[in-house]
Amino acid sequence: MLLVLHVIHAPHLLLIAIIATVLIAAPSLAWSATTFAILGVAYSPTFIGAPGSTGMRTWTAFQLWATRVVEDAARRWHGECRVVRDGSWRKSKREERRYIFGYHPHGMYPAAACWFHLTPQFASLFPSVPPPVTLGASVIFRVPILRDVAMWAGARNVSRNVFLKSLREQGAVVLCPGGQAELVEHVGGDGDDVVTLCTRHRGFIRIAIEENAHLVPVFVFGESQATRNIIKWKAAQRWTYKRLGFPMPFLPGGFKGFLPIPAPLPLSFVVGEPIKVPEPGPGGTALEEDVLRTCDEYYQRIRDLFERYKVSSGFPHLRLVFKDD
């Protein structure tokens, strides 16, 4: 169970351990520099072919392993790990529909966006949904070991071209619409009552309209509350996010307040009913009024899921706030 938790939530710590070991064991700076150069050359072939965009490093055996053990490990640690289907889902053949799953909230580290759809619960509740591809921030695919775990699980970059290619090829994608901006707003941890969702990103809604894909709202209880940023310095985190593409300082802590694995809080993945989007306008492009209207409907669905399930999920004290800037 602890192995699974560390593979999912703290693969970057192995990189830190390797760097620290080399620096401590090296008899000289030149020796450590040579070691890092050799390791870098040996690792560089993993970037060939842009696997973060193509999915070429997806490891089926790793996904099967996740299907077998991750849900059980999460249940043993969190006490509860459930996938809930809200509303009605029309039976259809897999090739007939496309789905864009919006995963909320982003929180500190939305690791379950890579694995909740691999669970047996998800497969049994949504048999007509093709296996979704998780789309993540580009920074994930630059950090050794973290990027490897993400790519083994089938994750890809969230750029527009990759988004379109994955949706057309696979038929379903998962992404966190709040993105890095929402990570900055997240506090997390016991005693925090507010969940902030950033609503200004509408590109996924535009793509849904242009690709005739159904939008599926997903609200996750427990994940963002189980991990927080130990260093709360929003001004610096907003500044670094806008200029560097990632908020710093970034130091996630969960269990016991500072360990990198999450606190053992119950997990609930509430999957809403698909939203049918309007037809695209002339030239196959989405009309701005349709995008805005669909955005309002989508986030109202998110609020409805939040209000209906927060008590049964074990978080009756939470409040939801939308931020559009």
- For 174-199, the DSSP string reads EE-TTHHHHHHH---STT--EEEEE-
What pLDDT sits at residue 191?
A: 45
Q: For 149, phi and psi rounded to 5 degrees? A: -60, -45
pTM of the complete model: 0.92
Please, what is the angle between helix 2-9 and helix 60-78, to 10°?
A: 110
What CATH architecture applies to the domain 50-323?
A: 3-Layer(aba) Sandwich (3.40)
In whole angstroms, give the CA distance from residue 113 to residue 129.
16
Q: For 205, phi and psi rounded to 5 degrees? A: -70, -40
Q: Which helix (H) or strand (E) holds 210?
A: helix 203-210
In whole angstroms, give the CA distance from residue 289 to residue 67.
41
**Residue ranges of the domains in the chain?**
50-323
Positions in the chain whose pLDDT score sits under 50: 188-191
Strand residue runs (E) in the chain? 81-85, 99-104, 133-136, 156-157, 172-175, 194-198, 214-221, 228-229, 252-253, 267-271, 319-323
Phi-psi region for residue 253, left (φ > 0), alpha (ψ -120 to 50) or beta? beta
What pLDDT sits at residue 78?
A: 94
Comparing CA positions, the residue from 15, 212, 202, 194 lying closest to residue 107 is 194
What pLDDT sits at residue 96?
A: 64
What pLDDT sits at residue 190?
A: 45
What pLDDT sits at residue 180?
A: 81
Tell me: the pLDDT tens digits for 278-289?
A: 999 988 999 999
What pLDDT sits at residue 97?
A: 80
Q: Which two tokens stand for residue 282?
A: 């002339």
